[in-house]
Structures are given as structure tokens and as C-alpha cells.
Structure 1
């Protein structure tokens, strides 16, 4: 995107306004337009940057970035992934009904289908929980968003973690302790 046409239009409007003030005003406007060009360019870049940030907030998880190349801005649009399981992994399967629970429910719409909209929510977490979620996502090798989507889907589908079983193993003088499902 070239800023020159916008700067030239502003310069022209300033010249027209100054012409109404007489010769002294016109000369002053001519002297001011050169130093104002960089300030005008900076103000336009700030406005474009704020617009890109606002669009990104509304477009999340997609984004719009403003980049500067040869003093001219350009936009880079990253669309939201079509599939909410952004790392390419399939969604967790729904739980099998326990014997005696009756027939399995009819399958609902396929998660991540083209007709399924994504929504954005704000989630407030205590700092210690946020840190634990970041660590769990890193251990799983997925983004925090993907990890939270999986956790929410598992909870909504009624999956409950099995009671933790502590496992201790000794190998070559090293001791490993953890839990398994």
C-alpha cells in the first residue's frame, strides 16, 4: 500500500486552505509541508497499525499483520484455521457408552466442519493455573489454544480423568516418579 497518494492529498488540501489566507499563508504552508510529511507518514502508520490490531482481535485466531518494506506498509493476513484442532491432530473421540446406558446418542455435526463457526471467549485464570496449562501444552507439543480446546471437548463429552496411579521406576541409579491413567 502506498502512502504517497494520501500524503499528496493532504498537502493539496493544506495548500487550498492556505490560499484562502493570502500569499503569506500560502508560503508558510509550502514551508511546513515538507517537515510535516514524515509526521503525516508516521501518523498514518500508527492508524494502520491500530486498525490491524483491532481486526486481529475480531478475526482471532486469524490475524492481520502490518509490515513495513521500503517505507511502505503492507498487510499480511493469516486466516483462521478451518479446523479447530489447529495442530492437525484429530479431535478426541467421544466416550463409548457404558454397558446398560442404553443406545448410543445419534452423532451430532462433525466438529470443525465448514459450516461450524468459531467463537472467541475471554477466560480469566489464576496465574499458577495459566503456568500449569502452558507447561501441559508444551509437554503435549501443541498450542495453548489447542490444549484448551481438547480439555474443554473432553470435559463436555463427559471424559473424566482416571484416578492417578503413582508409578516409581528405577533405572541405572535414576528414579522416575509420575502418574499414569
Structure 2
């Protein structure tokens, strides 16, 4: 998704807001617009990732992910592998009532490994980490040898 039209619109709005200002103010505003572009780009990408996570939680058989292609986010929509094979899907967790921001400090090598795995899965690092934490926090499977029913799928 090309973010440049949106960033251009913000810059144009700043230019309009300072149209009646003196030349120095307009120059400072133009420089500030250039300086905040990376922060705006990151905020817009985070917005897309949060929207993708919300859509995924509302769509039972579809996963929406955001991955980066250079500086641009790319939205992907995929069907759950379990749904594609006709298997039953696990019910989504009902305790999720939104998202929370967490800062995690990772050793650089671990971060590179996680990024490589996320890229191989064609997911953003954030989406990959969320799924890894979900898998790690699911209850351990019980002994199923006595059960004739088996449910598999993604959550």
C-alpha cells in the first residue's frame, strides 16, 4: 500500500495551515513535515497492523496480515489452513478486548531470527510474535488417547 498520497495530504494540510504565515514560518513547517514523515509512516503502518489484527479476530476463517515490502506495508488476506482443508477451527479467544502495546528488548541475533521466520511466513514481525505468544500461552494438550474426537486449527 503506497502511503505517499496520505503523507502528501498531511504535508499539503500543513502548507494550507501556514499559507498566511511569513516565509520563515512556512519554511520551518516544510522542514517539520519532512522530519516527521518517518514517524507518520510508522504510525500508519501500526494502524494497518492493528486493523488487520481486529479483522482477523472478527473473521473466523481468514487471516489478515501486514508485511513490509521495503518502506511500504502490504496487506495480505489468507484463509486459515484448517478452513481450507475442511477441519474445524478453534474458537477465537473471548478475552481479547483490544490490543496493548508492549516494548520488548531482544538480543539482536534473536530479533534477526524472528524477522527471518516472520518473512518466511510472509507476516509482519508483530503478527508473527503475536501468534508465537498465543501458541506459547495455550494450555498444554491433554492426553487424547481415550478420546475419539479431535479438533485442530488456528486461533
TM-score (norm 1): 0.49
Preserved CA contact (<8 Å) 2:90 2:153: no
Check 1:123–1:3 CA distance in 2 against 1; reply closer, same or farther (3 A cut): closer
1:131 aligns with 2:140: yes
The structure with the largest alpha-carbon Rg is 1
The count of residues paired between Structure 1 and Structure 2 equals: 107
Pair 21,120 (structure 1): closer, same or farther in 2 beyond 3 Å = farther
- Name structure 1 gaps, 5 residues minimum: 87-117, 147-181
Root-mean-square deviation over aligned CA pairs: 3.3
Structure number with greater CO (CA < 8 Å, separation at least 6) is 2
The structure-2 alpha-carbon separation of the partners of 1:2 and 1:131, relative to structure 1 and needing over 3 Å to count, comes to: same
Counterpart in the other structure of 1:69 = 69
CA contact (8 A) 2:66 2:74 kept: yes
Q: In 2, distance between residues paired with 1:121 and 1:36?
A: 37
Structure 1 pair 30–68 and aligned structure 2 pair: CA distance change class (3 A) = same
Q: Which runs of 5+ in 2 are unaligned?
A: 96-137
CA distance in 2, matches of 1:74, 1:56: 15
Partner in structure 1 of residue 4 of structure 2 = 4
CA–CA separation in structure 1 for the residues paired with 2:59 and 2:38: 31
Scaled by the length of structure 2, the TM-score of the pair is: 0.56
In structure 2, distance between residues paired with 1:136 and 1:145: 16
